Amino acid sequence: MRKITKQVLIDCADNLLFNLSDIELEKLEKDFENFISQIEFLKALDDIDSEVCTTFPYEYYSNYLRDDVPTKPLKTKDVLKNVNNKFADMIKVSKVIGE
């Protein structure tokens, strides 16, 4: 595996238009060394290819969405009673995008 050197990090930062200080470069280089050593450890494990990937190791249920209950929509005439700025049967809104 290719070694991540300070020069590689500087080149990547330049490509991304980042400026990194010497302290940041040293920390980032150490982080990459740790990451690569972990990858090497995983590659050395036997039968790693037979394992199933986990994206989230915990069961998680979200029941905070309510059930949809069909209702009758409001009449256009009733909605337009509360609108100051309208055009035909539509609500006219301010322009959002500049010229």
Confidence of residue 32 (pLDDT cuts 50, 70, 90): very high
15 occurs within a structural domain: yes
Q: Are 36 and 1 in contact, with CB atoms under 8 Å apart? A: yes
Separation CA 14–CA 25 (nearest Å): 13
pLDDT(72) > 90: yes
Q: Is residue 26 part of a domain?
A: yes
The answer to whether position 90 is within a domain reads no
Q: Tell me, what's the pLDDT at 33?
A: 92
Q: How many domains does the chain have?
A: 1
User: What's the token pair of residue 59?
Assistant: 């069961």
pLDDT of residue 27: 94
Examine the pLDDT at 17 and tell me if it is beyond 70: yes
- 19 falls within a domain: yes
**86 beta partners:** 91
C-alpha to C-alpha distances, 59 to 53, 54, 55, 65, nearest whole angstrom: 15, 11, 11, 18
Domain membership of residue 35 (yes or no) is yes
80 falls within a domain: no
Mean pLDDT within 64-87:
89
Token duo for residue 82: 């509360």
Question: 26 versus 49: which is more confidently predicted?
Answer: 26
Contact status, residue 40 vs residue 1, Cβ threshold 8 Å: yes
Domain of 13 in residue numbering reads as 6-46
Average pLDDT, stretch 22-46? 91
Does the structure show a pLDDT above 70 at 99? no
Would you state the pLDDT for residue 95?
A: 83
